[in-house]
Amino acid sequence: MQSLILRTATRILVSMILVFSVYLLLRGHNATGGGFAAALVAGTGFSLYTMVEGSAAVRRGIRIDPRGLIAAGMAVALVSGLIGLFAGEPFLTGMWCTLSLFGGKEVALGTPLFFDMGVFAIVLGMILTLILSLEEN
Amino acid sequence: MERVARASSLLPLSIFLGAVFLVPHTAAGEAYRWVYPWIPGLGVNLSFLLDGLSVLFALIISGVGFFVTLYAVDYLHGHRHTGRFFLFLHLFMLSMLGLVSADNVLALFVFWELTTIFSYLLIGFEHESAESRKSARQALLVTGAGGLALLVGFLLLGIAAGTYEISRMVPMAASLQEHPFYGAILAMLLLGAFTKSAQFPFHFWLPNAMAAPTPVSAFLHSATMVKAGIYLLARFHPVLSGSAAWTATLILVGAATAVMGAFTALGQSDLKKILAYTTVSALGIMTMFLGGQLAPSLMAAMTFLLVHAIYKSALFLVAGIIDYQTGTRQLEKLSGLARSMPVTALGAFAACFSMAGFPLFFGFVGKEIMYKGALAETMMPNLTASAAVLANGLMTAVAGIFLIGPFLTGPARHGEPGAEACGSMCSGPLILGGIGIFFGIVPEFVGSYLVSPAVASFHAHMERVKLELFHGINTPLVLSAVTLSLGAILYLSRKRVNRAVCRSYQAIGLDGSRVYDRVIEGVAAVGRLQNRLLQNGSLHRYFAVVVASFVLLTGYSYLSGVQALPDIGAPGLATRQWLLLLVLLAAVGAVVVTRSVLLAICALGVVGAGIAMIFLAHGAPDLALTQLLVETLTVIIVSVILLRLPGLGGAGRKSRARKSFDAALALSVGALMTTLALAMLSSPLDRSVTAFYEQSSYLAAHGRNIVNVILVDFRSLDTLGEIIVVATAGLAGFALIHRRRGRS
Amino acid sequence: MSPVLVLPIVLPFAVAAATLWFRDDPRRQNRMAILGSLLHLAACSLLFIRVVRGGMQTMQVGGWEAPFGITLAADHLSVVMIMVTAVLGLAVTIYSRAEIDEELLRSGYHPLLYILLGGVCGAFLTGDLFNLYVWFEVMLMASFGLLVLGREKRQFDGGVKYVMINLFATLLFIAGVGLLYGMTGTLNLADLHLAVQEVDNQALLAAVAAIFMTAFGIKAGLFPLFFWLPASYHTPPAAVSAILAGLLTKVGVYALIRLFSLVFIFDVAYTHGLLLVAGVITMFTGVLGAAANNEFRRILSVHIISQVGYMVLGLALFTPLALAGAVFYLLHNMIVKANLFLISGLSARISGSFELKKLGGLYRDHRYVALLFFISAFSLAGFPPLSGFWAKLLLVRAGLETGAYWAAAAAVVVGLLTTYSMTKIWGEAFWKPSPERSESSEGKDPTGKPDMWMLLPISGLAGLTLIIGLVPGPFLEVAERAAHELTHPQIYVNAVLGGK
């Protein structure tokens, strides 16, 4: 799998896939997408990259150990649930604030989005854990 | 350690003195009752009742306990587990005291089982010998089985009486005996008593229990624990007796045990086995007399209880001394001991004369009252009397065997002549033997202070029955004379009798111990058979059984109640939907048929994609997207695994029958689930929850994508759980495949 | 709304995340895990006290009213179960310090263990059927991970059997959830209690009940669905065996109790009659299977099945006393069973084997270990005054009172057969002289020494058994209250739906 065309194409493809993944994550609350799907897309991208460039390249690229990513994702998801608890509401209650952007647009930001990022991190972490350990074994 | 052990004899001694202090009060008919609520919700109280019966037992338990403790200190000198021994011994004693004073049947049961446990630990005291282990377990299982029957009996009794307190059951005796549970209660209680008190045919564990150190045999297996069943029969005499079933069972079982035990004792050569079988016989006699209804019979049972406890514990201690000093308990190796151990011999003489029932010894008094009691009864008096005469005659002969061979014959023929044991060991049999003579001389005193109060506490119509040395010339005296001469004859012809007994046992072929062994082996064999049939290690079989159970259970539950199967009708599908369905079916078929794993995975991917299409067609793009992505990743990961592990290709060949069975099972699962789904779809869905989501998704949860809002808000706890599943899958996968440090 | 309600679930996950983050620092992991399990126990105790003092506690997760969101609901049954879970979690965590090597710690032992604990608590606290399914998945994944951790071949074989059969159970579970949702339009258990009464299609309802019975029956290890259990439980480290044996099948039993007292009570004679038959056969199968085994942990494993039969018997008789008996039995058995597995590990540590043939001499040289085993084993066999006796007593009495004499008789006979197996272990592993000690080395000190980190949790659990046995009153009262709630589903419904 050392063909130059494949490697170049993969780099371009993977960057596009990752950008698409972030897009899916951010728009998920209002349109098709969400953390789970976004992570799956990113995972597909990384799988492709692993097959072509090997696991070491991927590890260099993501810097964090995939199992650390899982741990971080769990922490993020739990914390976003506990915020409601500290505010005297039930666990996982959505806490929202409105952010005014330039140009007068308003965006609702809330713990559910935060939670979705936890989902993203865990799912991606799981895929990377499997792919990389398989590759290295 | 030894000093502590010796000091621990103060415990039984102080209990004994306390019980002695109570004697005048209980003799006057007083009874003491304490109640500590234990589990009020269940009606279980630690309630204790001290009356004449309890005090008699308490005296025996603590008195014998005292001598046995002192004796055991020297007997076990230098043993590595003396600490455990005395701990178990004293705990046993306390449990036994609890047993004979408990007024609540469940509390009584707790103590009952505790005595079983400590008996187990003490029989297995020499735990490195396989025989000890086997005997301990046998005793535990046999008495444990009886104990469980007893528990059922007590619970039934509690249901019938509405109380667990024995003292409150006594006034209800008449109504309890008419209760439909009466038969069951009686049967269960008797099972408990008979196993514990080694009645035929459950007696076999007791001789085997002689594997225990001799002090234990003297204490538990002759004087106290085996009498727990006797205690139970006496305690429940006012509640349950009076029916023909009670009387007949007790008399028949008791007589059989008494005669069988004594005959068997005659043929033994091990001193302890001889004593064990005569104990069985004695327990039979007590049971037999508790079958009676009148004061003399019951007096006989209680008197003999005391008689037996005193002489038998003394004899066991003697046997222990002989064993300790000469290194053997075999009759044929022992002789001339009267000369080498005179003090021990004195104790042995006193005890044996009591056992044989010579006048002036307490045993004589016991025998007289037995014959009087038997003849006074209305039910089976002749059977009782003849069984008693026969058993007593045999015991007289056994007393002769025990005394004459080892003590009176000439100097030692084999092995160690033996020397006198130290004081604390000898004093036990000597004092117990002395008590036997003392009681034999003043039977009136014993009768009015110990035996009569005991009987009075379970027998309301107590006419005055005196224990006397000399009743005048009457039938009991004649029977006593008959007994002694019978004993002499049996002693002289003991070899012939023994051969006859052996032959008759072989002819009958009934041996509880063998039955027990067979049951034990049988249980293991049934278990092995079951494991071979069910737990054979084949995942295929496990799956077949599980799936078939599911199909049968669910199918039956549905079909037995259904009026009409759901209508499949003509599904109004468009052409492209039909096409999709065809593709799906083809892919499923390919998965089933193909031998190539890679092809199967790809076909599975097609199935997944097809399902995603169905989601899409029903307006669920999020589901479709996720489904597609998951399928893609699955195919990638599984392919990677296959590339690295080439050995996984192709499943093994299966037989045609197995294939068709699997196919039928799979098809029936599919058919069942389809039917249920169709039945479910035939009624409209309650959409109130869905409607709520549609309404509040944007307004309350700031999201237009309802699926996402459900995932991260409405049902975010599910998502939390699911991402943890995902995380765990990653960890489990890592655990399975990662490369270990230090291994290539 | 009580914020404490969520802590028994969240805390273990937090511990899992933290120990996963420090995956390469085993010592810190151990410290964090012990601290975490103490906090978990504290949280569970807090919730326990709240429920005992103030009755059922509920929380509408996310702030969405039932039945629209997911409700967490803690009644007496739930808090008893989470209390035992927390206690076992603590015991096993401490024990793991001695048993689990660094390699396993680096592979993610603690995260998996704590995810399992969180999932178990989630299952005990949720008031939502689908959410229950989710927690079952969490437990399945985590337990599979624990089973195969260490990657020995036999672990893998056991793990595969375990996961395959349990996946089928999961499949049935989700199919049942789907069908039930289609019939009623709700997933909230309290709401289901009401909605099921409106269902016209009784045959379909019976079928769905049968699906759930099969699914949970597999999880609980009922006859004839138990195969995965003896195939797998003896393979992992003893700490893992202990936590799986203590918790997993019991979650299945819990789910059966919950659903067949709250949702599926439309035809008690049929459903609970089936459970009665299954329970009694299970009692016998398990105890006979154990009798044929000669390995410490295998005997214990197969016995689990038998004891599940007792619990299901209590549910099947369906009287307040019988249910109290089932709850008491759960409480007792989870502690004792887990402890026996821990002891098996300690014995193996001392003697180097789980095979009874190769064991021996423990009574002679390790009296404290022997005492601890004796207490636990005779409690399991139902000897008084240990915890198992009261559990058995309640069930036998309930059987006699309801006229199910043969069931009561079975409970008694199986108790005897349990004694059979326990004395086999006692005789072989404890009483028998050690096969390795030759005559010449008689009197020498044994090489194996019990590890304090192992003895500590074992002593604690044995002490608990003893306390439950000697002072059963308070435990019984809680069990009776649980039974009262189970026989009066209105209490649960009112607490969750606010008396609507």
pLDDT digits (tens, 9 = 90+) for A99-116: 776 766 666 778 888 888
pLDDT at B729 over 60: yes
Sorting pLDDT into bands at 50, 70 and 90, what band is C438?
very low
pLDDT digits (tens, 9 = 90+) for C86-135: 999 999 999 999 988 888 898 899 999 999 999 999 999 999 999 999 99
| DSSP-based three-state secondary structure for A137 | coil
Residue C200's pLDDT is 87
Q: Do B720 and A32 touch (CB under 8 A)?
A: no
B437 touching A, CB under 8 A? no
Q: Which of C61, C107, C125, C496 has the most A C-beta neighbours within 10 Å, making it the best mutation to test the interface with A? A: C61
Residue B412: per-residue pLDDT: 56
For range B199-205, the mean pLDDT: 91
Check whether B743 has a pLDDT greater than 80: no
Please state the rounded mean pLDDT for residues A114-124: 91
State what percent of residues in chain A have pLDDT above 70: 94
Could you give the percent of chain B with pLDDT greater than 90? Answer: 53
- For the segment C133-138, the average pLDDT, to the nearest whole number, is 96
Residue-wise pLDDT for B476-524, tens only, equals: 888 888 999 999 999 988 888 888 888 887 777 667 788 898 998 999 9
Cα B37 to Cα A22, B32, B626, C468, distances in angstroms: 69, 17, 63, 16
**Closest residue on chain B to C122 (Cα):** B721
H-state helical runs in B102-227:
105-123, 130-161, 166-169, 173-178, 182-196, 205-208, 214-218
- According to the model, what pLDDT value does residue B80 have? 86
Selected residue with higher pLDDT from B569 and C446: B569
Q: Examine the pLDDT at C190 and tell me if it is beyond 60.
A: yes
Mean pLDDT of C373-401: 95
Helix (H) or strand (E) holding A61: helix A55-62
Min distance A14 CA to chain C CA atoms (Å): 28
- In this predicted model, what pLDDT tens digit does every residue of A11-35 receive, in sequence order? 888 899 999 998 888 887 777 778 8
Interface probe for B, chosen from A26, A89, A93, A122 (most Cβ of B below 10 Å), is A122
- For residue A88, pLDDT over 80 is answered with yes
Find residues 81-110 of chain A whose CB sits inside 8 Å of chain B.
Answer: 81, 91-92, 94, 96, 108, 110
Please give the pLDDT value at position B652. Answer: 59
What is the pTM (predicted TM-score) of this model?
A: 0.93
Please state the three-class secondary structure of chain C as a single string: CCHHHHHHHHHHHHHHHHHHHCCCCHHHHHHHHHHHHHHHHHHHHHHHHHHHHHCCEEEEECCCCCCCCEEEEECHHHHHHHHHHHHHHHHHHHHHHHHCCHHHHHCCHHHHHHHHHHHHHHHHHECEHHHHHHHHHHHHHHHHHHHHCCCCHHHHHHHHHHHHHHHHHHHHHHHHHHHHHHHHCCCEHHHHHHHHCCCCCHHHHHHHHHHHHHHHHHHHCCCCCCCHHHHHCCCCCHHHHHHHHHHHHHHHHHHHHHHHHHCCCCCHHHHHHHHHHHHHHHHHHHHHHHHCCCEHHHHHHHHHHHHHHHHHHHHHHCCHHHHHHHHHHHHHHHHHHHHHHHHHHHHHHHHCCCECCCCCCHHHHCHHHHHHHHHHHHHHCCCCCCHHHHHHHHHHHHHHHCCCHHHHHHHHHHHHHHHHHHHHHHHHHHHCCCCCCCCCCCCCCCCCCCCHHHHHHHHHHHHHHHHHHHCHHHHHHHHHHHHHHHHCHHHHHHHHHCCC
CA distance B692 to chain A (A): 17
Contacts of C72 in chain A (CB under 8 A): 91
Mean pLDDT of the C231-246 span? 91
Amino acid at the residue A106 = E
Interface touch C231/B537, C-beta < 8 Å = yes
Cβ distance C412 to B526 less than 8 Å, yes or no, reads no
- Local confidence band at C254 (pLDDT 50, 70, 90 cut-offs): very high
Q: Give B-chain residues touching C126 at CB under 8 angstroms.
A: 717
Contact B735 C145 (CB under 8 A): yes
- Is pLDDT above 80 for C465? yes
Tell whether the model's pLDDT for residue B742 goes beyond 60. Answer: no
| Closest Cβ–Cβ partner in A30, A94, A135 for B705 | A30
B624 has pLDDT over 60? yes
Residue C443: its pLDDT value, please? 43
Tell me which of A36, A44, A97 to substitute to probe the interface with B (most B C-beta atoms closer than 10 Å).
Answer: A36
Q: Do C63 and A89 touch (CB under 8 A)?
A: yes
Q: Are A70 and B730 in contact (CB under 8 A)?
A: yes
Q: Which of A 1-60 lie inside 8 A of B, CB atoms?
A: 28-37, 40-41, 43-44, 47, 51
Mutation target among B699, B716, B717 for the A interface, most CBs of A within 10 A: B716
Predicted pLDDT of residue A10: 86
- How many contacts does B have with C, using Cβ atoms within 8 A? 292
Segment B53-80 mean pLDDT: 92
From residue B207, how far is each of B132, B135, C199, C220 by CA, in Å? 12, 9, 66, 44
Query: A58 vs chain B: nearest CA distance in angstroms?
Result: 16
For the segment C226-249, the average pLDDT, to the nearest whole number, is 91
Does B737 contact A at CB distance below 8 Å? Answer: yes
Instruction: Tell me whether residues B117 and C182 touch, CB distance under 8 A.
Output: no
Contact C6 A89 (CB under 8 A): no
pLDDT of residue B43: 87
Choosing among B712, B720, B731, which should be mutated to test the A contact, i.e. which has the most A CBs within 10 A?
Answer: B712
Closest CA to B316 of B434, B428, B197, B438: B428
Query: Averaged over B657-682, what is the pLDDT?
Result: 90
Burial class (CB in 10 A: 0-12, 13-18, 19+), C239: buried
What kind and span of H or E run contains A5? Answer: helix A4-27
With CA atoms as reference, the chain A residue closest to C19 would be A71
| Residues in B touching C62 (Cβ below 8 Å) | 713-717
Contacts of A85 in chain C (CB under 8 A): 3, 6
ipTM of the complex: 0.93
Chain A contact set for C111 (CB, 8 A): 71
B434 falls in which pLDDT band (50, 70, 90)? Answer: very high
* pLDDT grade for B631, boundaries at 50, 70 and 90: confident
pLDDT digits (tens, 9 = 90+) for B464-488: 777 877 777 788 888 888 999 999 9
C328 has a pLDDT exceeding 50: yes
- Find the CB nearest C23 among A67, A74, A84: A67
Separation of alpha carbons B436 and B448, rounded Å: 17
Residue C439 has pLDDT above 50, yes or no: no
B104: helix, strand or coil? strand
User: How would you classify the pairing of strands B32-39 and B44-50?
Assistant: antiparallel
From B114, B144, B225, select the one nearest B520 (Cα to Cα): B144
In the predicted structure, residue B693 carries a pLDDT above the cut 90: no
**At A108, which helix (H) or strand (E)?**
strand A106-110
Q: What's the pLDDT score for residue B319?
A: 93
The pLDDT, as a whole number, for residue B570 is 63
- What is the nearest CA distance from A77 to chain B, expressed in angstroms? 7
Q: Which domains does chain B have, with CATH numbers?
A: 1-240 (no CATH), 248-492 (no CATH), 539-684 (1.20.120), 685-744 (no CATH)
> pLDDT grade, residue B649 (50/70/90)?
very low
> Nearest CA of chain B to the CA of A56: how many Å?
15
**Mean pLDDT of the B576-605 span:** 87
What residues of chain C lie within 8 A of the CB of A94, using their CB? 62-63
What is the residue extent of each domain of chain A? Answer: 4-75+112-136
Please compute the mean of the pLDDT values over residues B669-693 and round it to a whole number. 88
Output the pLDDT for position B473: 79
Instruction: Give me the pLDDT at residue C129, please.
Output: 96
Residues of A in contact with C71 (CB under 8 A): none
- CA–CA separation, A131 and A51 (whole Å): 9
Q: Which residues contact B186 (CB under 8 A, 6 or more apart)?
A: B153, B240, B243, B245, B246, B249
Q: Do A125 and B705 touch (CB under 8 A)?
A: no
pLDDT band at C444 (very low <50, low <70, confident <90, very high): very low
Contact indicator for C319, C400 with CB cutoff of 8 Å:
no
Q: Residue C81 and residue B274: Cα distance in Å, rounded? A: 55
Segment C149-185, tens digit of pLDDT: 876 777 888 888 899 899 999 999 999 999 999 999 9
CB contact under 8 A, A66 and B730: yes
Mean pLDDT of B266-293: 93
> How would DSSP label each residue in B137-152?
HHHHHHHHHHHHHHHH
Of all residues in chain C, the percent with pLDDT exceeding 90 is 78
- What band does C49 get if pLDDT is binned at 50, 70 and 90? very high
What is the structure's pLDDT at B378? 86
Query: How confident is the model at residue C440, as a pLDDT?
Result: 40
For chain B, how many helices (H) and strands (E)? 34, 2
Chain A: residue whose CA lies nearest to B722: A119
pLDDT at B413 > cutoff 60? no
The chains found to touch C (3+ Cβ pairs under 8 angstroms) are A, B
pLDDT digits (tens, 9 = 90+) for C480-496: 999 999 999 999 999 99
Output phi, psi for C58, to 5 deg. -135, 160
What is the maximum alpha-carbon separation in chain C? 79
Span C288-307, pLDDT tens digits: 999 888 999 999 999 999 99
As a whole number, the mean pLDDT across chain B is 88
Q: Given an 8 Å threshold on Cβ–Cβ distance, is C68 in contact with B539?
A: no
Q: What is the mean pLDDT of residues C296-322?
A: 94
- C164/B539 Cβ within 8 A: yes
pLDDT the model gives residue B651: 53
Residue C341 has pLDDT above 90, yes or no: yes
CA dist B39 and C312 (Å) reads: 24
- In chain B, the percentage of residues whose pLDDT exceeds 70 is 95
Q: What is the mean pLDDT of residues B451-466?
A: 84
Tell me the pLDDT of chain C averaged across its residues.
Answer: 92
